[in-house]
Structure 1
Amino acid sequence: MSAVAGSPLPYWRLSGFYFAYFALLGGVAPFLSLYFESLGFEPARIGELVAIPMLMRCVAPNLWGWLGDATGQRLLIVRVGALLTALTFAGIFWRQDYWWLAAIMALHSFFWHAVLPQFEAITLAHLGSQSSRYSQLRLWGSVGFILTVVLLGLLLQREGMGVYPMAMLGIMLLISLCSALVPSPPQHVAATQEHADGFLQRLWRPGVPAFFLCVALMQLSHGPYYTFLSIHLEALGYGRGLIGALWALGVVAEIVLFLVMRRVLAVFSLRRLLVASFLIASLRWLLLGTLADYLSVLIFAQVLHAATFGAFHVAAIHFVQQRFGEKYQGQGQALYATLAGVGGALGALYSGYVWQELGPALTFAVAAASAFSAALILALRLREDD
């Protein structure tokens, strides 16, 4: 049941949307760079093309977040954004030159990044006082990711990269269908203090600016992982089927964490979870950059995804919920997505240039330094009760 009496939680419809949305990410993260490589683009151009959707995360979420909070029509924004994501992506079948692909990446991602921050606010509204159950819904996104990584990896190994755009379009249409099935959230009665201060006042509360800076640093540190891991592993001699399985392994670890996250949140403060996530991320990038040719080390590094994405994301979602309340939840989640986009775009860009000139080890070393810096910032700037 949701927090509003008599209003049942639409568990499977909310979970279904997460399943479809992150199934798309499961097609993008491991394989988009391979698709661009199959078209003949060099690493710097691949980094630029992968960075464009992340740059859209710097613009789109804040616009849609403000609109969602101002109008209250978050679900409509999700549905329109999902449909236009698919329609604009379909232009990829017309041409595949660099500038056309850059335009397609920019246009479809402008609508794609309208979707998730608003849906996070919708989910939290459905959960009400049971927000600790968030991870039980979100884990189905990880299931969607893992199935796409495994099945699409096998499909691409058998049929080649030419089928990739059609598979992506099919998943986008599934997101649109799932968004149509999600009901509007219940209207909660907000406490008086909820409206005592505005969005900007909440943004400048102690520790909040440091948190958002570190969100950007976390995604910057993921730049070489999301942009070049598959290419890196192919160069080391791993087959595409195994590469897909290794991506999936990381998400399996993430799912296991989501299953127990409610208990983890009851034991550890958000500050401790965030700092630990960054420290583990730093270790993970060092391992991937220097020892990925050892399968046992690679497996261990992928298991650490439970912390570097799973624990970090859930802790971050709860941090934003606590700091911005229901009234400003759309803008708070949008700013989280935006800063993640800034970091992700910079991560993709720097990794493209550094990878081409200096190779994988130094590229991942920069990522490790970024994550470690964020751990220090949060350790110094967040209070223990955060």
Structure 2
Amino acid sequence: MSSIPYWRLSSFYLSYFALLGATAPFLALYFDHLGFAPARIGELVAIPMLMRCVAPNLWGWLGDRSGRRLLIVRLGALCTLGAFSLIFFAKSYAWLALVMALHAFFWHAVLPQFEVITLAHLHGQTSRYSQVRLWGSIGFILAVVGLGRLFEWLSLDIYPLAVVGIMAGILVASLWVPNAQPAEHAVRPAGEGFLAQLRAPGVLAFYGCVALMQFSHGPYYTFLTLHLEHLGYSRGAIGLLWALGVVAEVLMFLSMSRVFARSSIRAVLLVSFLLATLRWLLLGSLAEVPAVLIFAQLLHAATFGCFHAAAIAFVQSSFGARQQGQGQALYAALSGTGGALGALFSGYAWSGLGPSFTFGMASLAALAAAVIIARHCPPSRSSP
């Protein structure tokens, strides 16, 4: 990669997804450490997901209008760090809700703009994107394993300091990256509008399934760490189990070209939903059995890896060139909405109805997505 600033781009992805590795498994655990009830934990975890419904579209519009994408990335990283640092001043529910909303508003500004910069540096060589993006998964793994061990040795009181350290790394990495602008292309004829393409057979059904799939992940992202800790797993072991899921995801991403060569997008989505149905049942009822838990984490290859790759391909095949941005924005918005509703539901159901019921409802949501995609998505939906 002689003409590509490979290590500069990769260092940003490593630090950015290390932050996700610090929040997805451990944020709810920290709120539990502070003494909040499950319902309040679910609400606090849902706030950043709700911000994902709004922030990317706003910052994306600003980036397109101004062309100052790298400046938005750097300011977003700086404001994320500053907003989250407010956590050191108070620990009340209202204050933490404000911290969650503010930092997420800026955090969700960063990645979409940086993706444009990365693709501009690749000069159309999109097949090399996975070689850069791979470091994001490595950053996630390093964070969950390292912090899991750290929290075994030290109190969770240091959690905010660890998160701020990672956010500082994101800011430094953003300052190291050189700017690049996407190449100008001729504007294609408009053709059908976005709403007309949205009403094409199977498209609305697909977006409904996106929301259901992310809803089904609510108990996983909100309470898995607490669930496993209550079952007697150490924090170090929990970190390794989270990392195992991401390793499976990475291996699946590297294999998706072969998967799509043999299967349609519709088939990949259907299998992803069915395996999610199984995964949530196993986590809710048999997570105390280590072999079952390991198998359930390996299914992350399907429930995230296959699903995300197939979803991106579905959007690309469903919209024209001038509607791709709107299609991807709708995918992000419904992902955020479904994830937020799943986190809220999990918070309210967890203490009163228990893990088995909560994960069971998640399983039903994934099964509903499987039924919808099987009945309403045309079988002829082709792979990229």
The answer to whether the superposition gives a TM-score over 0.5 is: yes
Comparing 123-132 with 30-39, which one deviates more in the overlay? 123-132
Task: Measure how far apart 1:248 and its partner are.
Answer: 0.9
2:151 corresponds to: 156
Task: Measure how far apart 1:272 and its partner are.
Answer: 2.2
Percent same amino acid among aligned pairs?
A: 64
Task: Measure how far apart 1:129 and its partner are.
Answer: 5.0
Asked if residue 253 in structure 1 is aligned to residue 260 in structure 2, the reply is: no
1:334 corresponds to: 329
Asked if residue 179 in structure 1 is aligned to residue 177 in structure 2, the reply is: no
Structure 1 runs of 4+ with >6 Å offset: none
The CA deviation string for residues 165-196 of structure 1, in whole angstroms up to 9 with x for no partner, is 01111111211222233344453343543644
2:233 corresponds to: 238
Equivalent residues in 2 for 1:283-294, closer than 5 Å: 283-294=278-289
Q: So what's the TM-score if we normalise by structure 1?
A: 0.91
Task: Measure how far apart 1:255 and its partner are.
Answer: 1.7
Asked if residue 20 in structure 1 is aligned to residue 15 in structure 2, the reply is: yes
Equivalent residues in 2 for 1:1-386, closer than 5 Å: 8-127=3-122, 129-193=124-188, 195-196=190-191, 198-324=193-319, 329-383=324-378, 384-386=380-382
1:4 corresponds to: none
- Secondary structure at the counterpart of residue 233 of structure 2: coil
- Secondary structure at the counterpart of residue 168 of structure 2: helix
Q: 1:378 to 1:191 in 2, by over 3 A?
A: farther
Comparing 186-195 with 56-65, which one deviates more in the overlay? 186-195
Gap regions ≥5 residues in structure 2: none
- Secondary structure at the counterpart of residue 25 of structure 2: helix
Q: 1:109 to 1:71 in 2, by over 3 A?
A: same
Amino acid across the alignment from 2:256: M
Q: 1:238 to 1:298 in 2, by over 3 A?
A: same
- Secondary structure at the counterpart of residue 30 of structure 1: coil
Q: 1:376 to 1:71 in 2, by over 3 A?
A: farther
Task: Measure how far apart 1:265 and its partner are.
Answer: 3.4
Amino acid across the alignment from 1:299: I
Give the Cα–Cα distance (whole angstroms) in 2 for the partners of residues 82 and 122 of structure 1. Answer: 15
Aligned 8 A contact 2:117 2:182 in 1: no
State the Cα RMSD in Å. Answer: 2.3
Q: 1:177 to 1:96 in 2, by over 3 A?
A: same
Give the Cα–Cα distance (whole angstroms) in 2 for the partners of residues 199 and 70 of structure 1. Answer: 20
- Secondary structure at the counterpart of residue 359 of structure 1: helix
Aligned 8 A contact 2:117 2:181 in 1: no
Give the Cα–Cα distance (whole angstroms) in 2 for the partners of residues 184 and 198 of structure 1. Answer: 33
Aligned 8 A contact 2:149 2:235 in 1: yes
Aligned 8 A contact 1:135 1:262 in 2: no
Task: Measure how far apart 1:27 and its partner are.
Answer: 0.5
Q: 1:184 to 1:263 in 2, by over 3 A?
A: farther
Q: 1:206 to 1:21 in 2, by over 3 A?
A: farther
Give the Cα–Cα distance (whole angstroms) in 2 for the partners of residues 370 and 356 of structure 1. Answer: 20
Aligned residues: 381
Give the Cα–Cα distance (whole angstroms) in 2 for the partners of residues 129 and 28 of structure 1. Answer: 33
Q: 1:96 to 1:339 in 2, by over 3 A?
A: same
Give the Cα–Cα distance (whole angstroms) in 1 for the partners of residues 195 and 76 of structure 2. Answer: 26
Aligned 8 A contact 1:69 1:331 in 2: no
Aligned 8 A contact 1:274 1:311 in 2: yes
Gap regions ≥5 residues in structure 1: 2-6
Give the Cα–Cα distance (whole angstroms) in 2 for the partners of residues 65 and 205 of structure 1. Answer: 26
Amino acid across the alignment from 2:15: A
Q: 1:56 to 1:352 in 2, by over 3 A?
A: same
Q: 1:9 to 1:217 in 2, by over 3 A?
A: farther
Give the Cα–Cα distance (whole angstroms) in 1 for the partners of residues 209 and 338 of structure 2. Answer: 9
Q: 1:13 to 1:325 in 2, by over 3 A?
A: farther
